[in-house]
A and B are shown apart, each in its own frame.
Chain A
Amino acid sequence: GAGVSQSPRYKVAKRGQDVALRCDPISGHVSLFWYQQALGQGPEFLTYFQNEAQLDKSGLPSDRFFAERPEGSVSTLKIQRTQQEDSAVYLCASSPLTGAYNEQFFGPGTRLTVL
């Protein structure tokens, strides 16, 4: 069956450009998470959606980062005025329910390189 998909898989941006990263979760999954994985590090939490509601954005590194999930399915992570420190792999994960005990299913990630 279809898993979590992300696009583009690779993105190169010049410093100062805006980028948009897309996540298509597994159909019907209620919870959606974004993580940032810097080179040689583990993923770090950015933000969490329950359906269309963004319930936690405490992990977003700055106000240049913005995420949305307007219809409770596809989500977009937008980074404005990209900086070199934004270079990382951005992972999206979805989960069928909310609460504990739920497995998160991860997409392949988008590798962002800011020059």
Chain B
Amino acid sequence: AQSVTQPDIHITVSEGASLELRCNYSYGATPYLFWYVQSPGQGLQLLLKYFSGDTLVQGIKGFEAEFKRSQSSFNLRKPSVHWSDAAEYFCALQRGDSGYALNFGKGTSLLVTP
């Protein structure tokens, strides 16, 4: 099975605090993994991607993610959250078929408090 699980539906953090969003995957081969952000009324914007190589991946807006094969995880992190980071975050796994379409998790909604 090719699936993605995001265990946290909602997360609230204070502005300036650190952030970690969890993502677990199930895939039989080397996974290609992505994190997208979706703001209200906006399309999905790619934050970062992992294909191979370094397990710590840097993305846009100060985000990074670490691929851990032993834990089947690809958690997203940011050292200091800004109010503008409030949005819905989706982890996705590239399928091995269907033109390499994406299987998404259900998303984590991030709320940033003053």
The reply to whether B104 and A44 contact each other, CB–CB distance below 8 Å, is yes
The reply to whether B99 and A108 contact each other, CB–CB distance below 8 Å, is no
The reply to whether B42 and A33 contact each other, CB–CB distance below 8 Å, is no
For residue A66, CB closer than 8 A to chain B, the reply is no
**Count of chain A residues near B, Cβ 8 A:** 31
A55 to B98 Cα, complex, angstroms: 7
A59 to B32 Cα, complex, angstroms: 20
**Count of chain B residues near A, Cβ 8 A:** 26
Q: Name the interface residues of A19-40: CB closer than 8 Å to any CB of B.
A: 31, 33, 35, 40
For residue B28, CB closer than 8 A to chain A, the reply is no
- CB-defined contacts of A109 to chain B, threshold 8 Å: 43
List, sorted by A's number, 19 A–B pairs whose CB atoms are closer than 8 Å.
A35-B101, A35-B102, A40-B106, A40-B107, A42-B4, A45-B95, A45-B98, A45-B101, A59-B98, A93-B44, A98-B100, A99-B100, A100-B32, A100-B94, A103-B49, A104-B102, A106-B36, A107-B43, A108-B42
**Contact surface of B with A, Cβ cutoff 8 Å:** 4, 32, 36, 41-46, 49, 51, 90, 92, 94-95, 97-107
**Contact surface of A with B, Cβ cutoff 8 Å:** 3-4, 31, 33, 35, 40-45, 48-50, 55-56, 58-59, 91, 93, 98-104, 106-109
